[in-house]
Amino acid sequence: MNLEGLEMIAVLIVIVLFVKLLEQFGLIEAGLEDNVEDEMETATVRHRPEALELLEAQTKFTKKELQILYRGFKNECPSGIVNEETFKDIYAQFFPQGDASTYAHFLFNAFDTDHDGSVSFEDFVIGLSTLLRGTIQEKLNWAFNLYDINKDGYITKEEMFDIIKSIYDMMGKCTYPLVREETPRQHVENFFQKMDINKDGVVTIEEFIESCQKDENIMCSMQLFENVI
């Protein structure tokens, strides 16, 4: 995988992996005919999802797509919620040669929008809808939220360094044997050179969106996964 521009499109890596993970565990199954709506009413779970009609209105998935996603979600998460350790286990399977725990932590926090320590089916499909079917503005807002670790409305160099380093850690030295400590730092400097328009040392969401929209590679990349399910 080419690391050029990694600092600006890292979030897209996780979209691909997340979708592939869904496929691997059978969470995306073409032609599933089971009536999952009935299961939503009768299954014994700790967290019951909202009605399909409401989720259909809140997302850009059809009722059938939501049924398929829910069947897979319930099979893997009978309690109806996912905790952070589950995210870490998922990414550990994809990157056995690296340490994916930190990146999984950041990703979990991006999906856990109400910060209650768990990701419900509603959290899951709303986030997935944004990543796969959202407008460019919505996708970039989601990406900015991932990078803005402390949620203060700014991306600092340390926050970006933490994200980029977590990606290198996840990939592992077997994938990138020549990576040195200064390599993530260089990506951070490249990011800020492009994104920090007023050179005040932080990147606002306005700067982030404006810079991304001017980058043809980013714009093309963000449209690649709209029809995966």
Per-residue pLDDT at 225: 59
Provide the token pair at 85.
Answer: 């350790």
- Residue 149: predicted pLDDT: 94
Give every CB contact of residue 115 below 8 A, 6+ residues apart in sequence: 109
The answer to whether 19 and 133 have CB atoms below 8 angstroms apart is no
This prediction's pTM: 0.75
pLDDT digits (tens, 9 = 90+) for 158-199: 999 998 888 888 877 655 555 555 678 888 898 899 899 999
pLDDT: is 51 or 126 the higher one? 126
Kindly tell me if the per-residue pLDDT of 44 is higher than 80: no
Kindly report the CA angle at 204 between 200 and 209, in degrees rounded to 5? Answer: 125
Q: What fold is seen in the domain 14-221?
A: Recoverin; domain 1 (1.10.238)
Contacts of 217 (CB under 8 A, 6+ apart): 5, 9
Give me the mean pLDDT over the 199-216 stretch: 93
Please check the confidence at residue 150 and state whether its pLDDT lies above 90: yes
Q: Pick the residue with more confidence: 23 or 205? A: 205
- Rg of the chain over Cα atoms, rounded to whole angstroms, equals 18
According to the model, what pLDDT value does residue 162 have? 93
| Residue boundaries of the structural domains of the chain | 14-221
Q: What is the mean pLDDT of residues 213-221?
A: 80
Across residues 146-158, what is the average pLDDT?
Answer: 94
pLDDT, mean over the chain: 76
> How far is the C-alpha of 99 from the C-alpha of 47, rounded, in Å?
30
Give the pLDDT band of residue 228 (cuts 50, 70, 90).
low
